[in-house]
Amino acid sequence: MVNGYKPTSLKEALDTLAKESVTPYAGGTDLMIKPDENATYLFLNKVPEMKNIVEDKEYIRIGAACTFTDIIENELTPAILKEAVSHIAAPAIRNLGTVGGNICNGSSKADSAMIFFATDSKLRLVSNRGERVIPITEFYLGRKKTTLDKDELLVEILMSRKGLNNYYYKKVGERNALAISRVSFAAVLNVEAGTIANCMIAFGAVSDVVIRRADIDAMLIGKTIEDAKAVKEEYLAAYDQAIVPIRGRISAEYRKTVCMNLLRDFLESNGI
C-alpha cells in the first residue's frame, strides 16, 4: 500500500505541502527506480491547474504535471520541444512521465529541461507564501540540486510563443531511442532584417547542469551572417573554454569533441 494524499486542486496540494512531510509525485517514473516504502507521497496528477497547456499574449504555459505524451499531442507545443520529448524512453514511459518531474529531478541529462534552457524558458514556482517566476537557468544549483523550497511546487513552464521556429536539435546516445543522452544539443537562431536577432544554445549531459552561456551567444547578436562569420573562430574558442565535461561512462574528451562538432554543424547550417 502506498501512503499519500491525492489533492484535486492546487490550493489543496499547497496546503498539504505546507503542513506535511510529503514527496511530490506525478508520473513517478523516476521514483519507481528507487521506491521508498516509508515515504508519504503527494500525488499531483489530478491537479487541473498543473495539467493544462495554454497560451497567453507572451507565453505557451505548460503545466508541470503534463505527460510527455500530452506535450507531443498538443498543437500549441513548439516543434523543438515535441521533437526532444518524442525521443524520451518508450511510449509507456512517455504516457506516465511528466515534464515537471523531468525538470525537478535536477539532472543535466533531462531531455526536456535542456530544451527549456535553449529557449530561455521560465518556471512558475508556487507555495502558500506566494509565487515566483524565474529563468530556468537560475533553478539549477548543481547535480540533483535546485532552488525549489520544500513548500513549493513547480506549477508551470513558460515558453516564448515566438522565435522558436528556426531550431537545431541533436541527441547523441548509445541508441536512437530508449537511451540516456551522452550529449544533447539544442539551439535557436533568429535573423530579422538581415541581422541576428537572437541566438540561444544549450548543451545537456555534459556538466553537472545544462550549459547555457548567453554571454557567449551575445557575440553573434546584432551581426549579419557575414559579420558572424568574421567572429566565428572567436566564438568557437569561447565555447571551447566554457565546455568542461564531467567524466562518466564515456570520456570527457569524447563529450567535448561531440559538443564542438555539433556547434560547428549548427553554425554551418545557418550559413555561418
Check if CATH label 3.40.50.200 holds for domain 48-160: no
State the pLDDT confidence band at 2, using cuts at 50, 70 and 90: low
Taking Cα atoms as reference points, which of 36, 49, 41, 37 lies closest to residue 16? 41
CATH, range 167-269: 3.30.390.50
Smallest CA-to-CA distance from 155 within 134, 186, 140 is with 134
pLDDT in tens, 218-256: 999 999 999 999 999 999 999 999 999 987 777 889 999
Long-range contacts of 17-21 (CB under 8 A, 24+ apart): 17/42, 17/127, 17/128, 17/150, 17/151, 17/152, 17/153, 18/127, 18/128, 18/151
Instruction: For residue 102, name the pLDDT band (cuts at 50, 70, 90).
Output: very high
pLDDT digits (tens, 9 = 90+) for 41-92: 999 999 999 999 999 999 999 999 999 999 999 999 999 999 999 988 889 9
How distant, in Å, are the alpha carbons of 12, 32, 210 from that of 242?
44, 35, 12
Domain extent listing, the chain: 48-160, 167-269
| Total-model pTM | 0.93
User: pLDDT for 153-167, tens place per residue?
Assistant: 999 999 999 999 999
Q: Which pLDDT value is given to residue 163? A: 94
The pLDDT confidence band at residue 178, using thresholds 50, 70 and 90, is very low
